[in-house]
Amino acid sequence: MLKNRRGFTLAESIAAVITIGILSAMMYSIFLGAWINFETEITRIDLAQEASRIFSVIEEDVMESLSLATNAGDLTVTFPAPLLQDPTNPASPPIFAGGPLGVGNFPETQIDYQFVVQPGTSNLALTRVGGTTGINTLLSTRVDPITNFILENNPAFATGRILTVNLALSAQVFRQVVLYQQSKEIVARNR
């Protein structure tokens, strides 16, 4: 009577549990690897967009600058104070002479791009500091220490200078450092 009963033996049950455990571990490692890769690429895209935004701010300032200077890694941008005349009355005083802050068309006469060490990390903060108004704009807190400004004279430009910005941004994803690097040469055109 007991001979005809069908069922699983203990050995078959243990083999099934072990097989399910091995397959679950394989699926978990595949899922985790794909998730890490996805988060890494999303972070890399975020860093690229942040670098593009930083470059557009620096490029706008440098292209409108009167002069550029670097000091201990920081960048100083000086702006011109154009004196525009009223086209209907050439004898009139300049329209923007003095402007709202006394510096012509630009709200600042000088802007400094400064690197500030972030407490507790190896990253730097890149800050745009207005010399006249004192307005500080934080551009990024994920600047890697290899970021720098290189100012060079170029014989191809009679009066111009070229600013090379080597920007590196970094972030951590799952204890891995994601690094985005980009270099750009910017020529000041108001020289």
Tell me the backbone φ, ψ of residue 68, rounded to 5 degrees. Answer: -130, 145
CA dihedral 63, 68, 71, 76 (to 10 degrees): -60
Q: What is the structure's pLDDT at 30?
A: 93
Q: What is the structure's pLDDT at 132?
A: 65
User: Is the CB of residue 166 less than 8 Å from the CB of residue 147?
Assistant: yes
Q: What is the pTM of this model?
A: 0.72
Distance of CA 1 to the CA centre of its chain: 79
177 forms beta bridges with 172
| Domain spans in the chain, listed from the N-terminal domain onward | 8-187
Sign of CA dihedral 103, 106, 107, 112: negative
Q: What is the structure's pLDDT at 159?
A: 47
User: Is the CB of residue 173 less than 8 Å from the CB of residue 145?
Assistant: no
What length does the chain have? 191
Q: What is the structure's pLDDT at 41?
A: 95
Low-confidence ranges of the chain (pLDDT < 70): 1-4, 81-108, 131-133, 153-160, 190-191
